[in-house]
Structure formats: C-alpha cells, structure tokens
Amino acid sequence: MSAEVHFLNVAWGDSHAIRLPSGKVTLIDGGDGAVLPNRDHPLRWLDRHGVEEIEWLILTHLHEDHLNGLLAVAEAKSIRNAVLPYEPFRLPAAEDEAAYVPLAGQMLHMLGAYLTLIERLREQGTAIRWRDGYGSREKAVVWEEEGVRFAHLYPWLGDPLPAYQMIRDMAEAGLPPTNDALLSFFEASNHDSSVYRLSLVDEPEHDIVFGGDQPEPGWERMATRDDIACGVLKAAHHGLPDGFNERILALTRPEHCVIPIEAARSGPYAAEWKRLSKHAQTTIRLTSGAAHGLTYRLGSGAAPAAAIESDSEPDA
C-alpha cells in the first residue's frame, strides 16, 4: 500500500495514523490522553516521526478513550482539516457538579472537552467539517490522492444517531443534564460512531476499515448498501462482542484484525477471539502486543504498510 497505517498502543482506546508518501498525515482518534510507560500517545508518535502538521484530524465519536488525546495534539500541532461528529451545542450549566455520580460527571466534562477541542481548532484556523457532510454514497470520500482514498462509511444521512438526539434533547430542555441523561448518552454514543475505509484505488481487496466503536446493527446497515470486505479490520469497541463477533467478521471477511486493548483487560475475551480467528480464518493482533520500540507488520503484498506500532513499555 502506498500509505503507511499505524495502530498505536494507547491501551483501552483508539488512535491510528495514516501517512502518505508525501508526508501528509491523517490522525483518527487520540486515545484517552494518559501518558504512562505502558502505552503510547499520538503526540509522542507525531514527535518521533517528525510530524508538525496534520492534514486531517478525525474523531469517530464522543468517548474519552477516543477524544481526550486529541486535545494535546490540537495544542501542539498545526491541523489543516478536521472531521468532527457534531456541530457545537450548548448545555445549561450544572449548579452542583457534586450531585452527579462519577460516570455522569465524566460525561459532563467530556462534552465540555469536545467543545474545547472545537475552540482550539478554530483558534488555529483549522477547516472544520461536520460528519453529516459525508452522509451519502456521492459525498462519502473525505480525501483521495496518490492512488489512495479515505472514505466515510457510517453513519450516513438517515442512520440513527441516538446519542446526538440525547444531546439535542438535553439542550432543548433548558435544564442542567441529569445523571440519567448523561449515563444514557454514555451507553448510546457507540451507536453514533463513525466507520472509515482506506482503499488503494486499484486494489480494493487491501482495504483497511476503521470500525470505531460501532456495534453490530451499524455493520448490518453498511452491508445492505456496500461490500464492506477488507484486508485489515480495526475491530470495533476493543473487540467486545457487540462490536466484534462472528456476524461482523462474515460481513467484512478480513485477513487480519487489530484489536485496540491493553493486555491486562483482554483475558475475558481471549478464548472467544481464538475461536473467531480459527472460524473466520483471520489473524488477530492486539495493539498492546507490540513491545517497546517494535513494529508488527500485517500481511503480505500491499498489506504490510498496516502496522501495530509502540513506543511504550510492554503491558503488564
């Protein structure tokens, strides 16, 4: 493939970098932003590869393990273009944040962090595009150059966006968000997750699909309007059954799968992943499987440009 794809070890979270021969970089998600010895960080990846400007910054959906690391990137690097899931919204301020249960409080701060990201990008003159502009077959291509195409597969206009509807409902209520509303947003956000496809224009069998955290119903919708087979699948939702299962593998038919998860949290799923690997005849790699300074390359022929890379110490 004439583009390098790096799946970063950000532990329980997603961050993936695409680099063209020209040096242009697309960054998809940013992990949770933690700087620890047993995980990477997108800013560290950019620094060690000498990248000062990001051509495209992509956020798939609003969860901390995809959003938070992008704030540091936006503070430190020049970003020309961004594709973000929602236009800015205004929620009534909470009078007493101590009234929120911990997870609801996290969601409240995360929604604020998303608005901060938009502000930081606007301050540096980034051209921000909202995801719904790519919501049809005719308008799905985000960029295409050097024989490589990056396209938006999901959601398209008309696909359900339950988390966004909850934000709109909270904003229209004119009252501070409740615990129940914020917890419901957390549960629904994966269903709003974007899915993207990187393709060689002349070799579609080597496509790489970035599944975000999209659960099975979204994959079923995608399959009704397109062939979503690929060479490499970035498994959705850390390889948990709602986003990575036999049905999804039957629809995507990947040669290789990459699961973004830390080794310490993978134990409960290992047996099922082994079964799926054998049943679907696909190899499965964890992003935490790349030890300090090591790159695992996937496949043969055009596929080896897809790699799991780490500049972190091995997971415990």
Cβ-contact 17, 6 below 8 angstroms = yes
Residue in the block written with tokens 């020049």: 78
Write down the pTM of the prediction.
0.94
Token pair recorded at residue 230: 């690929």
Indicate whether 300 pLDDT > 70: no
What pLDDT, in 10s, does the model give residues 86-108? 999 999 988 888 899 999 999 99
Smallest CA-to-CA distance from 109 within 127, 97, 126, 122 is with 97
Indicate whether 301 pLDDT > 50: no
Token pair recorded at residue 28: 């998809």
What pLDDT, in 10s, does the model give residues 147-205? 899 999 999 999 999 999 999 999 999 999 999 999 999 999 999 999 999 998 777 67
Average pLDDT over residues 275-298: 77
What does the angle CA 112 – CA 73 – CA 44 come to, to the nearest 5 degrees?
135
How many other CB atoms are there within 10 angstroms of residue 315's CB atom?
21
229 to each of 206, 276, 279, 292, 315, how far by Cα in Å? 9, 16, 16, 32, 31
Indicate whether 314 pLDDT > 70: no
- Bigger pLDDT: 265 vs 301: 265
Indicate whether 312 pLDDT > 90: no
Q: What is the pLDDT of residue 120?
A: 98
- Bigger pLDDT: 170 vs 302: 170
Indicate whether 260 pLDDT > 70: yes
Instruction: Quickly list H helices, the chain.
Output: 42-48, 64-76, 102-123, 162-173, 179-188, 216-225, 246-252, 270-280
List, in sequence order, every residue forming a beta bridge with 107; answer none if it has no partner.
none
Smallest CA-to-CA distance from 153 within 209, 206, 202 is with 209
CB-side exposure of 38: number of CA atoms within 13 Å? 11
Cβ-contact 99, 108 below 8 angstroms = no
How many other CB atoms are there within 10 angstroms of residue 281's CB atom?
10
CA–CA distance, 158 with 107 (Å, rounded to integer): 26
Indicate whether 295 pLDDT > 60: no
Q: Given pLDDT bands bounded at 50, 70 and 90, which one contains residue 305?
A: low
Average pLDDT over residues 79-85: 98
Alpha carbon 13 to chain centroid distance?
8
How many other CB atoms are there within 10 angstroms of residue 263's CB atom?
17
Q: Given pLDDT bands bounded at 50, 70 and 90, which one contains residue 310?
A: low
Helix (H, G, I), strand (E, B) or coil at 52: coil
Indicate whether 78 pLDDT > 50: yes
Indicate whether 316 pLDDT > 80: no
- Intra-chain end-to-end CA distance of the chain, in Å: 33
Token pair recorded at residue 209: 């699909």
Q: What is the pLDDT of residue 241?
A: 98
Smallest CA-to-CA distance from 283 within 303, 313, 312 is with 303
Q: What is the pLDDT of residue 302?
A: 43
CA–CA distance, 203 with 286 (Å, rounded to integer): 26
Which domains are assigned to the chain?
4-302 (3.60.15.10)
Poorest-confidence range of 72-76, 95-99, 139-143, 259-263? 95-99
Q: What is the pLDDT of residue 304?
A: 36
**What is the average pLDDT value for the chain, to the nearest integer?**
91
Poorest-confidence range of 55-59, 132-136, 219-223, 264-268? 264-268
Instruction: Quickly list H helices, 94-197.
Output: 102-123, 162-173, 179-188
What pLDDT, in 10s, does the model give residues 207-250? 999 999 999 999 999 999 999 999 999 999 999 999 999 999 99
Cβ-contact 195, 28 below 8 angstroms = no
